[in-house]
Amino acid sequence: MIKEDCGHGEAFVITLTPGGGTVSCPPGESLLNALAKAGVPAGGPCGGAGTCGKCKVAVFSGSSSPVTGSERALLSGSELAGHWRLACRTFPAGDLTVGFPRAESLNEKFPRDKKEDEKKDAPGRGFLSRAVSGRRAACGLAADIGTTTVDADLVDLETGAVLAERSAVNPQTRFGMDVLSRISRAMARPDSVGEMQRAIAGLLDAMTEDLCRDARSEGGNIAEPSSIRTVAVAANCVMLHLFLGVNPAPLGAFPFTPVFVRGRGLSAADAGLKSVPRDAEVYCLPSASAFIGADIVAGVYVSELARRKGRVLFIDIGTNGEIVLSREGKLVSCSCAAGPALEGMNISCGMRAAPGAVEDVFIDGAAGTVRLKVVRDMPPAGICGSGVLAAIREMLRAGLLRADGSLTEKEELPPERRNLAALRDAGGGENEGSAGAVRLAENVVVTQKDIRQVQLAKGALLSGVRALLDHAGIGARDLDKVLVAGRFGEHLPAESLTECGILPAGLGGKIEYLGNSSKAGARAALMSARARGEMETLARGIEYLDLGAAPGYGDLFIQCLEFPD
């Protein structure tokens, strides 16, 4: 773990457990800020405002500020009795020893599951090959900087082989969980742009070290950060601005004009990267507009959307939802703010799709029992976005959830479903109430508030799809194919998308999953100058539909909040 000299006089020492690492915290600084500066993600989707309750830590020893009112509102009585605190509201008054709700919080970086090697290559991965072991590789780094999650591949530039891959929480989440909150932060405090830039550059440096170590241990390749020649980055427009230290304030007000949309090349030194050679090339993929970023251009490229025949819908599901419709190669797009709920954030027991995350749920309505699918077949530690959506799908099937998004009262359950009342009775803690949650496992619940978060996300995505189809003068049944991109889709059954109403009914058999097409596009840009040129051309040819200006969109959004009957 990292120990940091804060440089503000005598600093307190924060000892982390498990692991035993230490972090420095100057007097007057919150525990959350000290952890974030040292590269230790501790939650905080609300940006440290003390409203989300996600930055829980256990203070095992030491002196700190008194428990605040917001902590009493967000933590249960048993948590307070167990010395749990919110890191954003905890100000050390001396050396502390702290722990986290789950080990994942200490180190969000985790290597790829070797089972992934057994999966069929996604579009855009056809150039991959086996690494040649025992030799020094000239390497490249392909990175997808998402609003919530950062994914990166270490690539052999001679063979195109992926030597290692890693994923981590974007450390900018401490400034806010969505792009609007980060833009607002940059507008209010221009100096925070540099903080956000250093945070993401520091993460990429750490991931580079980890990737090279993974490559050496897994494949026997002699991979070192000094062997990296090129870094290719795909991200949405705001994330690209922040990666390059460019203030995104113009994206926060009409006419929402980006400082740049064209692809950019610069040196690693100018990008603030320290783990790779200073003269290594950094290439940022092109965006189409303020709302259709390089991540979507990359996905359009690797899916060959413009070359596909018929009517094909491309949808990237993440903190932001971007949708592109191709009609015989003509591309029109829109975007919507889905929020972080579908990535497991802003959810009471939410986590990323990491080991221990519930990713699928099955409820037996007659028996009143629950069966869970957990990432890596581990004991459930929390629930990721696909798991939350699957839980809602199963609640709708079992009659536990109404179309308006409210949980069914136990006395309203039909006699043959009375066994489900046990799930309702057991749901929730002291702050949620038994009427406000359904318990899936001993430590995993889905609350009424969680359902509302997903409902807002699904309303945004479905209304975007319907508005785009209306603009094109076609219906959902006229689509030939639906391409679902993003990490979210990798763990998601098609029926969760249609039965929860993210996509119109009847499209289940037309859905094709692409995986992380943004990162795949970054890999293509690493390997081919021609690919870069084609992406530049694609970016200029994507038309954008402003949903806010679309006739009747407000009413459409309200309609799309309803879950299917």
Ranges of each domain in the chain: 12-105, 110-284, 312-340+453-560, 341-448
Q: Amino acid letter at 112?
A: R
Check whether 222 has a pLDDT greater than 80. no
| pLDDT at residue 490, rounded to an integer | 63
Q: Which CATH superfamily is domain 110-284 in?
A: Domain of unknown function (DUF4445) (3.30.420.480)
Q: What is the DSSP letter of 103?
A: G
How far does Cα 130 stand from its chain's mean position? 29
Which percentage of the chain shows pLDDT scores above 90?
A: 55
Mean pLDDT in the chain?
85
Class of domain 12-105: alpha beta
Taking only the tens place, the pLDDT of each residue in 409-418 is: 878 888 888 7
Check whether 52 has a pLDDT greater than 50. yes
Torsions phi, psi for 269 (to 5 deg): -60, -45
Model confidence band, residue 176 (pLDDT cutoffs 50, 70, 90):
confident
Of 80, 84, 42, 38, the closest CA to residue 59 belongs to: 84
Rounded to an integer, what distance in angstroms lies between the CA atom of residue 538 and that of residue 522?
15
| pLDDT at residue 489, rounded to an integer | 62
On whether the CB atoms of residues 57 and 98 are closer than 8 A, the answer is: yes
Rounded to an integer, what distance in angstroms lies between the CA atom of residue 250 and that of residue 255?
8
Q: Which residue has the tokens 């939650």?
A: 43
Torsions phi, psi for 143 (to 5 deg): -125, 140
Is the pTM higher than 0.75? The answer reads yes
Per the DSSP assignment, residues forming a β-bridge with 441 are 444
State the average pLDDT over residues 34-61. 75
**Widest distance between CA atoms in the chain:** 71
Q: Amino acid letter at 41?
A: P
b/e for 4-30, b at 16 or more Cβ within 10 A? bebeeeebbebbbeeeebbbbbbeebb
Least confident stretch, 104-118, 381-395, 409-423, 547-561: 104-118
CATH topology identical between 12-105 and 110-284 = no
On whether the CB atoms of residues 248 and 182 are closer than 8 A, the answer is: yes
* Measured torsion, CA atoms of residues 483, 485, 489, 490, in degrees rounded to the nearest 10: 110
Of 366, 185, 207, the closest CA to residue 273 belongs to: 207
**Residue 409 token pair:** 């009262």
State the average pLDDT over residues 98-114. 47
| pLDDT at residue 447, rounded to an integer | 92
> What angle do helix axes 553-560 and 448-472 make, rounded to 10 degrees?
130
Least confident stretch, 126-140, 220-234, 468-482: 126-140
Q: Which CATH superfamily is domain 312-340+453-560 in?
A: ATPase, nucleotide binding domain (3.30.420.40)
